[in-house]
């Protein structure tokens, strides 16, 4: 061995270098191998460096052996299969109030996957010894409330419809989306698969849609609220004629003023319904206040402390049919009458032309064209009449048994109140107290309550 040659090992033992104190000294392959053997270097000999030394072209110090470092394991992580962005993109906005997106899932939907950490791959140093990798750490995120974790795959599934909520340690599905304050430009319109709770007000122009319930602790102005469940408004409705509430189940409010309300079951108002359009398939209950102005419709019963007022404000209550259906019935009845009159005129024209042909045995070209047009028009009118009859049948079927419906007034039924049971109507001309109103054999009866 050349006395000026030295083998030095890097601190991480992954590289071995040849150093020469006298770079003019000539060394060969055998000298290098002997030096490496003396140092115990057995792995990762670099053929290119050895060739350069033999050719006297190496620049010292030269790396003569190189090990392979370990590949450390990757930490566990979670990947989501759903869109978790909160802000809506410009392409998703229908108007300037479309601001916020609520990350939502349905029951059974896959949220994502928790990936396990990897162990990594071993390395080997220049001494031929294995170097253990550092294993990855498990993901800190764990399944939280209303989440099913499938351990065999790491998949996460929603147990309920709701909002996806996650932080550094937990992912959950919340059944309720809550706004702590008013709906404004920060929140924008909201649409959610679970329930929505607003602790403040919902101003004019905003839209809330829920596949469950909507609760508003404050006031609802001229906004649009639609829920497949119920709508609860603690502060009342001041709709200015622009508010529309549509609930698959009930609408409950402290009061309704100039609102449009549709309920799949009941409308329950703590105080008064004023100048509003209210339609409930079952009950309209206003036991502590009155119904003043507007149109109120119910499929089973209207019960109110008072209906109308001392000012004799025109007020309408319809049983078994709402105003819209009533107007449609009247519209189709008018259309039916017009079509029947038109048909009679066409039949008269056709009969006249047929008699003319019998008398003369021939018709002019103009008369033939008129007869052809008459027959075609008659056919079209028959089709129109059939369609009208079908629509009328559907509308009449929707009325149900109006003789099972009733209006109950706890205190005062004022004059100028219009009461309707299907096609039967009665205008109140005098004030009455504590009455029960119902339909019997085509007559609207107003009787004292027992």
Under 8 Å between Cβ of 126 and 39: no
pLDDT value at position 418?
A: 94
* Two structure tokens written together for 218: 């404050």
Contacts of 432 (CB under 8 A, 6+ apart): 409, 412, 413, 446
Pure H helices in 266-364: 323-360
Place of tokens 């404004």: 184
Tell me how far the alpha carbon of residue 369 is from its chain's centroid.
Answer: 57
Beta bridge partners of 426: 419
Which residues make Cβ contacts (< 8 Å) with residue 56, sequence separation at least 6? Answer: 26
Q: What is the dihedral of CA 287, 289, 294, 298, to 10 degrees?
A: 0
pLDDT-flagged residues of the chain (< 70): 1-3, 23-24, 85-102, 321-329, 332, 371, 388, 391-401
Backbone φ and ψ of 97, nearest 5°: -90, -5
pLDDT in tens, 181-219: 999 888 888 888 888 999 999 999 999 998 888 999 999
Residue 99's pLDDT is what?
Answer: 46
The CATH classification number of 77-122+130-174 equals 2.40.50.100
Q: Which residues face 130 on adjacent strands?
A: 124
Supply the pTM of this predicted model. Answer: 0.64
Q: Is 265 helix (H, G, I), strand (E, B) or coil?
A: coil
DSSP structural state of residue 131:
E
* Cα 326 to Cα 124: distance, rounded to the nearest angstrom: 88
> Could you read off the pLDDT of 135-187 as tens digits, one per residue?
999 998 888 889 999 989 999 999 988 888 777 788 888 888 889 899 988 88
What six digits make up the tokens of 170? 């937990």
Per-position DSSP letters for 133-171, written without gaps between them: PPPPPPPS-EE-TTEEEETTTTEEEESSSEEEEE-SSEE
pLDDT of amino acid 349: 78
* Predicted local confidence at residue 1, as pLDDT: 45
Can you give the residue ranges of every domain in the chain?
5-66, 77-122+130-174, 176-324, 339-397
Q: Please give the pLDDT value at position 52.
A: 85
């Amino acid at each position: 061995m050349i006395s000026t040659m030295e083998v030095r090992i890097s601190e991480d033992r992954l590289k071995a270098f040849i150093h020469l104190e006298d770079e003019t000294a000539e060394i060969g392959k055998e000298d290098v191998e002997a030096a490496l053997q003396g140092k115990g270097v057995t792995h990762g000999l670099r053929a290119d460096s050895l060739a350069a030394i033999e050719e006297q072209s190496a620049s010292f110090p030269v790396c003569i052996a190189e090990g392979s470092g370990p590949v450390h394991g990757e930490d566990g992580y979670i990947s989501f299969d759903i869109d978790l962005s909160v802000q809506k993109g410009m392409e998703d906005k229908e108007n300037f109030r479309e601001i916020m997106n609520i990350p939502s899932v349905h029951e059974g939907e896959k949220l994502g996957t928790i990936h396990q950490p990897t162990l990594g791959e071993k390395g080997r140093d220049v001494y031929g010894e294995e170097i253990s990798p550092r294993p990855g750490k498990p993901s800190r995120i764990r399944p939280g409330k209303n989440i099913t974790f499938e351990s065999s795959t790491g998949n996460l599934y929603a147990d309920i419809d709701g909002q996806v909520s996650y932080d550094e340690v937990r992912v959950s599905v919340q059944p309720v989306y809550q706004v702590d304050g008013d709906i404004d430009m920060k929140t924008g319109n909201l649409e959610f698969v679970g329930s929505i709770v607003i602790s403040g007000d919902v101003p004019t122009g905003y839209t809330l849609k829920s596949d469950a319930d909507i609760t508003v602790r404050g006031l609802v102005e001229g906004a649009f609220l639609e829920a497949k469940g119920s709508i609860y408004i603690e502060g009342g409705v001041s709709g200015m004629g622009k508010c529309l509430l549509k609930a698959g189940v009930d609408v409950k409010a402290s009061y309704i003023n100039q609102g449009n309300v549709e309920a799949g079951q009941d409308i329950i108002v703590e105080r008064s319904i004023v100048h509003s359009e209210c339609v409930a398939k079952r009950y309209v209950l206003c036991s502590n206040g009155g119904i003043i102005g507007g149109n109120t419709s119910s499929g089973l019963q209207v019960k109110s402390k008072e209906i109308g007022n001392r000012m004799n404000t025109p007020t309408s209550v319809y049983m078994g049919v709402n105003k819209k259906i009533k107007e449609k019935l009247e519209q189709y009845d008018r259309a039916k009458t017009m079509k029947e009159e038109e048909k009679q005129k066409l039949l008269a024209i056709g009969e006249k032309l047929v008699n003319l042909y019998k008398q003369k045995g021939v018709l002019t070209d103009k008369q033939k064209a008129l007869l052809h047009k008459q027959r075609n028009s008659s056919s079209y009118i028959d089709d129109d009449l059939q369609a009208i009859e079908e629509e009328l049948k559907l509308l009449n079927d929707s009325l149900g048994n109006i003789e099972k419906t009733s209006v109950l007034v706890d205190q005062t039924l004022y004059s100028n109140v219009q009461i309707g049971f299907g096609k039967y109507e009665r205008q109140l001309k005098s004030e009455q107290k504590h009455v029960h109103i119902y339909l019997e054999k085509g007559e609207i009866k107003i009787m004292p309550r027992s």
